[in-house]
Structure 1
Amino acid sequence: MLQPDYEAPDLPEDDESEGEDELYEHHRIRADRGQELLRLDKFLQNRLPNASRTKVQNAVRANAVQVNGKPVKSNYRVKPLDVITVTLPEPPREFKVIPEPMDLDIRYEDEALLIVNKPAGLVVHPAFGNWNGTLVNGLAYHLNNLPTGRNGEIRPGLVHRIDKDTSGLLVIGKTEWAMTHLSQQFFHHTIERTYLALVWGIPKAEQGTIIGHIGRSLKDRKVQAVYPAGEQGKHAVTHYKVLETFKHVSLLQCNLETGRTHQIRAHMKHIGHPLFSDATYGGDKALYGQRTGAYNSFVENAFKLMPRQALHAKSLGFIHPDTGQRLHFEAELPDDFSAVLAKWQAYADNHS
């Protein structure tokens, strides 16, 4: 049986929230001339109010801590006159999830967990600019109570997330044990997750694996960048397979071996095939195909059908925390995704 002591997996913030920077506190510290060599995490834990070692280490891993203008690791030894800049998350002190009635598409539910099919446009978790109207608000209404997660973090029932404008399946833990058990499966990469993605262009290989660290872009913190040499970010692996091609776009099946923020979106851009209609990663313009007036009009109409990234969390497979049974769930493509595929299919048929 899995034990409850574990390292929780990443739960990336919903980057679509406006004013997100206001959720963070910023610090700039200069070490004294007589500073003895001391591990960075211990140094900051002593200097910053209410900053646990775990919180500091998480900030270091997210490249939110720099020494003399460069990202460092937790075991860096602070030296005299080092200048350390820190950005730490600062959640509202008295935040409470307000239950809201919501028409949830629940695909499965028992005493330990539930599976919900999230529509595109629905934010998963309350954050600055989205304190209500989120999936968690709807879950709080549907259930009498939700476990909060480790150390009182504001993550009711959540063990993973998908972006606001990504559709598809999420598993929700209804008990502390279920959250712990499911979180360990995510951490050890034993959860099976399959996504469908419509991307620009046709990959040279019909199937392949993308390996490249993913971390915050040093130019734009709302964008994740790929660092192939591993100099920044965290190890990330995406497996893909081409299912269909439609002249200038391809439908891919993507399976995640790791779960990093915007992993598929960042990895596909990295190999030159951004997701269709993904404005954040450059997929909101015609990247392939001859730029004629008729073609540009066709693409613009396709964007109108699907004004969000073409990404759908199709399936989830995992071990039930209580029964030990292997479960598998699938969700069909939403209407906007199906409509865009049909439009590209018709275009390909007419231009073959």
Structure 2
Amino acid sequence: MEKESEAQIYEVAFCVEPNYAGWRLDRYLAEKIRRLSRTRIQRIIREDLVWEGPRQLKPSTPVWPGLTFRLRRRRDPEPVCERDFGVAYEDEDILVVDKPAGLPVHPTARYFHHTLTAVLRERQPQGEKWDIAHRLDRETSGLLACGKRPEITRRLKDLFSRAGAVRKEYLALVHGWPEEDEFRIDLPLALLDHPLKVKMGVVPDGKEALTLVRVEARFERDVPWRGPKLALVRCIPVTGRQHQIRVHLAAIGHPIVGDKIYGPCDRYFVDFAEGRLDEQARAELVLERHALHAAVLAFPHPRTGETLRVEAPLPADMNALLLPEASTASG
């Protein structure tokens, strides 16, 4: 038992770079660990900072170039999530998976074994190296293209990095009924100076961002936040900014159902991560995750050059909200 307890503690080393000279220690760490709030960082400094210097480092201590210290961290058990995935397309060169919501793509501070990267590594045949060519947020379900060999993966990554080379279509369930059936959202985006270090927003001098939207269905459900009107929309991101579709839809008054950052209250993001989301919050969110699904990928095959179009059906949780009668009948 003692070994197991000790194994959960690890240390992360930091060495202050010259450009941070004079910054408060808590501000420096907030810049380095963007997912944590300033209050949380101040507590870590007081309780878990290791430094062999002559005096205690405090949150307000100005840092200097070359200052070296360590943070003791406890590695919590990985959250349980779905580790399986569907195969939407496969040939000798590529694999397009249908990722379930909740499965992270790459390792993070909270996830290592429960990631798509780890699952692919477990399943790849000898002599192949399956690698993911692009990204999806953990809560977003749907299509991800993977190369089976390094040279194929390089070509795929090059395709996905080029504007207009890959067509992506997403399906989202949103609050409210958009007035028009088809429209454009052309609003510049940038990372905000916000306690949630990952939060994006519409900023006049931000990066260009364009999303094309088409309403697929309007319907009503008994939901407690923003009234009964909901819609299924198809979104085509022309640009590829972080959280682009989520921020754009929220900015025009139609946030995605279940969005813990851009929906009812951005505090829900931290509450969920720390396991203290209350019943009111769960009711307002409606779903356990944001209702965004990568439904279509279309791109030139990296070896043959022929256009490949792959589709993934709407997942069960989104379909149950859209068509509850069909969901009940099938269950």
Q: Secondary structure at the match of 1:193?
A: strand
Change (3 A) 1:299 1:123: closer
Change (3 A) 1:170 1:26: farther
Residue matched to 1:65: none
Give the TM-score taking structure 2 as reference length: 0.63
Amino acid aligned to 1:29? N
The alpha-carbon distance between structure 1 residues 194 and 282, as it changes in their structure 2 partners (threshold 3 A), is: same
Helix, strand or coil at the partner of 2:250 = helix
Q: CA deviation at 1:158?
A: 2.0
What residue is the counterpart of 2:171 in the other structure? 196
Residue in 2 that maps onto 1:131? 112
Deviation at 1:146, TM superposition (A): 6.3
Matched, 1:251 2:229: no
Is structure 2 residue 241 aligned with structure 1 residue 260? yes
Conserved? CA contact 1:200–1:276, under 8 Å: yes
Residue 207 of structure 1 is matched in structure 2 by: 182
* 1:224 aligned onto 2:200: yes
Deviations 1:91-115 (A, max 9, x none): xxxxxxxxxx953312222222101
How far the C-alpha of 1:303 sits from its partner, in A, is 4.6
User: Counterpart of 1:51?
Assistant: none
Q: Secondary structure at the match of 2:131?
A: coil
Deviation at 1:254, TM superposition (A): 0.4
Give the equivalent residue in structure 2 for 1:279. 260
Structure 1's unaligned 5+ residue stretches are: 1-21, 32-58, 60-84, 86-100, 148-155, 286-296, 347-352
**What is the deviation of 1:187?**
2.2
Equivalent residue for 1:170, pick from 124, 132, 144: 144
2:161 is aligned with 1:187: yes
Give a deviation string over 1:126-184, Cα, whole Å, max 9, x none: 1222121100101011114665xxxxxxxx71221111111111101222222222222
Q: Look up the SS of the partner of 1:225 in the other structure.
A: strand
State the AA in 2 paired with 1:204: E
Amino acid at match of 2:131: G
Amino acid of the residue matched to residue 191 of structure 2?
A: R
- The runs of 5 or more residues in structure 2 that have no matched partner are 1-11, 22-30, 32-64, 66-81, 221-228, 267-278
Give RMSD over aligned pairs: 3.5
Q: Does 1:329 align with 2:313?
A: no
Aligned twin of 1:90: none
Q: Output the CA distance in 2 between the equivalents of 1:162 and 1:239.
A: 19
SS in structure 1 opposite 2:255? coil
Does the 8 Å contact 2:320/2:326 carry over to 1? no
Identity among equivalent positions (%) equals 34
Contact preservation (8 Å) 1:277, 1:284: no
Distance 2:326 2:280 in 1: 12
Question: Per the alignment, in what secondary structure is the counterpart of residue 163 of structure 1?
Answer: coil
C-alpha spacing 1:118/1:251, structure 2 compared with 1 (3 Å): same
Residues 176 and 307 (structure 1), Cα distance of their counterparts in 2 relative to 1, 3 Å cut: same
| Residues paired across the two proteins, number | 238
Separation (CA, whole Å) in 1 of partners of 2:214 and 2:14: 39
Kindly provide the CA deviation profile for residues 198-251 of structure 1, in whole angstroms up to 9, marking residues without a partner as x: 111122222111122322111131211122x3x23x322111011111141111
Deviations 1:58-94 (A, max 9, x none): x9xxxxxxxxxxxxxxxxxxxxxxxxx9xxxxxxxxx
The residue number in structure 1 matching 2:19 is 29
Q: Is contact 2:135–2:144 with CA below 8 Å preserved after alignment? A: yes
